[in-house]
Structure 1
Amino acid sequence: MRRGKNTVLANISANIPAGRITGLLGPSGSGKTTLLRALVGVQKITAGTVTVLGRPAGDPRNRHDVGYVTQAPSVYRDLSVLDNVRYFGAVHGANRADAQAVLAAVGLSELAKRKAADLSGGQFSRVSLACALVGKPRLLVLDEPTVGLDPVLRADLWQQFAAMAEEGTTLLISSHVMEEAGHCDSLLLLREGLLLEQLTPAQLRIQGETDDLELAFLRLIQASQAAAANTGKAAS
């Protein structure tokens, strides 16, 4: 996949398990957001195919089955919290009770009547999440949803993500914080537009020979770089 003259993603091949949390992990600039945009159908694909829920990425039939939460909150600041969720819910045929249930799930019931403009950053992010959840998507794609949140709120959100997976929702969550990898069932590890591995947190610990997931990822990168260097020497 190219952007201008630059290759952003190359040789990506992976399957995302249904009803599980898949973490898309990698440093800033590794291609995480581009990959997520390709999955939801808003990023042009220059080669290969992307299939989402058995359909091509961007298929109109996926609009009611795929929820997408970007890094920039998609919320109307002049509307109340409840009205924001009801507005997005109307697209999916959701009613007022559905909106209130979603607000309860993300811990915003007490702020339902407050204008979005008056919320804190963490609360604002949770409104975006509620707007994506009200359509009851089969697949929920979240681009670094915990950035800038305090540790307590991050822990609360991961508990909510786990509960959603238990109920059958498939979640793909990007992050550059390796400690969050431990909350996932499966991991996609990106580095400079390349997929290094798809594996579980337990497998990453084994390969990296450490319980420290960040250090394990670093060792995986170093092993990959060493392998590439050896391949280059052999070819020359």
Structure 2
Amino acid sequence: MISQPAGHATDAAPAIDVHGLCKSFGTRKVVDGLTLTVPEGEICGFLGGNGSGKTTTIRMLCGLLTPDAGSGTCLGLDIIRQADQIRLQVGYMTQRFSFYGDLTVAENLDFVARLYQIPDRRAAVREIMGRMGLAERAGQRADQLSGGWKQRLALTACVLHKPRLLLLDEPTAGVDAKARREFWDLIADMAVEGMTVLVSTHYMDEAERCQRVVYLSGGRLIVDGAAAEVVRDAGVITYEATGIGIDALVHRARVTPGIESATVIGRALRVIGTDAAELARAVDSLRAPGVTWQPVPPRLDDVFIHLLGQDTRRR
């Protein structure tokens, strides 16, 4: 496990510092002894399959759930005894859009400003709408916004009270590529100004924009490091095939011993494995006239698929 990504400031005070967190619902243990440290000002990608414990962990960090066991701090405040104070300094964006559809953008933000008792709230709302590109949509009803603009409104509401920590739970699910890029540009700008961001995502291009990624499986943190380090240390080997008949070849590849995963990306068949000799034999068995195989560097999405496959085998 990589605990200190390259180029990372070792003297940064942790925004999140928790140890041995556990949470069960009935007989199902969702988070199992999780330990996580995130320094201030870092964008940390929170990865894992469905049911891996990401959302439950985020809710414990912001004081919405109380751990069954474990301890730690968030923004220097005890996550159990000072949860109410943590909530005032954290912005939490859930997976589901949760604002009033029959209120305008400005009215929704004014409502949030009232909740946080922000001084001169109308000026604060005008300022944040200008910064987040919402000024021209101030009078538009929230239920008339596209998915990308709804997510921008949700992010704006999360940062209206100027939190020190932003917790984002799959914030761009279902949003088009342009809106996702603009959303991440806003996050990067805020991180430059010192805000810490913990963001769960299934998009590997988003994970690669994080300074660090962690991966949960069964409620346990099993991978932690910069994206390039995670790829380097995962032990994943990748080959690509190009040529005639790739679409038909993928079906054979998926049942060939030594190949963990096979998929067609564009005009190439991409296969991954972890045993170099076994994977090479598998590739040899798939050679055919008009098909060219070559080893290629693995990517973060290859590692993610490999880890998801390990999750499935553990169950």
Give the TM-score normalised by the residue count of structure 2. Answer: 0.67
Deviation of 1:71 after TM superposition, in Å, equals 1.0
Which of 140, 156, 161 aligns to 2:187? It is 161
- What residue is the counterpart of 2:110 in the other structure? 86
Match of 2:9 in 1: none
Whichever residue aligns with residue 42 of structure 1, its letter is: L
Task: Work out whether residues 63 and 87 of structure 2, in 8 Å CA contact, stay in contact via their aligned partners in 1.
Answer: no
Q: Which amino acid aligns with 1:61?
A: Q
Answer with 142-151 or 124-133: which moved more: 124-133
Secondary structure of 2:32's partner?
coil
Alignment RMSD (CA, Å):
2.1
Partners of 1:53 and 1:151 lie apart in 2 by 32
Cα distance in structure 2, aligned partners of 1:220 and 1:174 = 16
Counting only pairs closer than 5 Å after superposition, residues 143-158 of structure 1 correspond to structure 2 as 143-158=169-184
Distance (whole Å) between structure 1 residues aligned to residue 155 and residue 312 of structure 2: 37
**One-letter identity of the residue aligned with 2:118:** G
Give the Cα separation in 1 of the matches to 2:196 and 2:65.
Answer: 21
Code of the residue aligned with 1:8 in structure 2: it is: V
Matched residues in 2 for 1:34 and 1:92: separation? 28
Higher helix share goes to which structure?
A: 1
Gaps of 5+ in 2: 1-22, 237-296
1:171 paired residue among 183, 197, 212: 197
Task: Tell me the equivalent position of 2:303.
Answer: 216
Task: Tell me, in whole angstroms, the C-alpha distance in 2 between the residues paired with 1:63 and 1:44.
Answer: 13
Of 192, 197, 205, 2:223 maps to 197
Structure 1: state its 5+ residue gaps.
229-236
Indicate conservation of the 8 Å contact 2:224/2:230, yes or no. no
Structure 2 counterpart of 1:104, one-letter code: G
Separation in 1, partners of 2:107, 2:92: 19
Match of 2:99 in 1: 75
CA distance in 1, matches of 2:106, 2:308: 45
Q: In 2, distance between residues paired with 1:102 and 1:164?
A: 12
Q: Which residue of 1 aligns with 2:211?
A: 185
**Pairing partner for 2:124 from 98, 102, 106:** 98
* CA deviation string 1:203-222 (max 9, x = no partner): 11211364410112344567
1:141 paired with 2:167, answer: yes
What SS does structure 1 have at the residue aligned with 2:69? coil
Question: Which residue pairs with 1:20 in the alignment?
Answer: 42
The answer (yes or no) to whether the contact 1:8–1:31 under 8 Å persists in 2 is: yes
Identity %: 36
Q: Partners in 1 of 2:302 and 2:125 — Cα distance?
A: 41
Bigger mean CA deviation after superposition, 60-69 or 101-110 = 101-110
CA distance in 2, matches of 1:126, 1:92: 22
SS at match of 1:28: coil
Q: Higher relative contact order at CA 8 Å, sep ≥6: structure 1 or structure 2? A: 1
Farther-moved stretch of structure 1 (166-175 vs 122-131): 122-131
Aligned partners of 1:123, 1:224: CA distance in 2, in Å? 34
Please identify runs of 4+ aligned residues in structure 1 that moved more than 4 A. 219-226
Look up the match of 2:60: 38
Alignment match, 2:87: 63
C-alpha contact (below 8 Å) 2:46/2:201 kept by paired residues: yes
Question: Which residue identity does 2:32 align to in structure 1?
Answer: A
The farther-off stretch of 202-211 and 29-38 is 202-211
Contact 1:25 1:175 in 2 (8 A): yes
SS state at 1:15 partner: strand
Partners in 1 of 2:309 and 2:154 — Cα distance? 37
Q: Could you tell me which residue of structure 2 aligns to residue 53 of structure 1?
A: 75
Secondary structure, counterpart of 1:84 in structure 2 = helix
C-alpha displacement of 1:41: 1.1
Bigger fraction of residues in strand: 2
| Inter-partner Cα distance in structure 1 for 2:312 and 2:103 | 50
Q: 1:132 aligns with which of 149, 158, 161?
A: 158
Bigger Rg over Cα: 2
